[in-house]
Amino acid sequence: MAKSKSPDKWSAEVTAHDHPFDIEPGLFANGSAQQIAAALKKSAEDPRRHSSDPYRTAMSMLDFYINRAGAKLSPAELAKLDQTKMALRQSFGR
């Protein structure tokens, strides 16, 4: 029997069991753009992650958070996350 693919459950499964972030709880809400970028970079470069492109992995983790938080993010939070993207690009030399 195959699992049903419910679009509202796959991300909850990833969040609960895949541990995609490996960063301290509350960092997205309370950390600065530079702190968030540094934590994402560290997580993406972790050898256990086996990422062939840590930059892409870090950006994917950030996009995953943005997409999951969606409409709940204030304009100030969205601005901080845009600054985080710029900080990631800079830290990876892109």
- From the number of C-beta atoms within 10 Å of its C-beta (0-12, 13-18, 19+), residue 60 rates as middle
Give residue 77's pLDDT.
92
**pLDDT, position 72:** 87
Report the pLDDT value the prediction gives residue 49, as an integer from 0 to 100. Answer: 73
Top-confidence residue, 62 or 18: 62
Q: List, for residues 9-21, the tens digit of each pLDDT value.
A: 655 655 554 555 5
Task: Give percent of the chain with pLDDT exceeding 70.
Answer: 77
Mean pLDDT (whole number) for 26-42: 91
> How many Å from the N-terminal Cα to the C-terminal Cα in the chain?
46
Structure confidence at residue 89 (pLDDT): 96
What pLDDT, on a 0 to 100 scale, did the predictor assign at position 50? 77
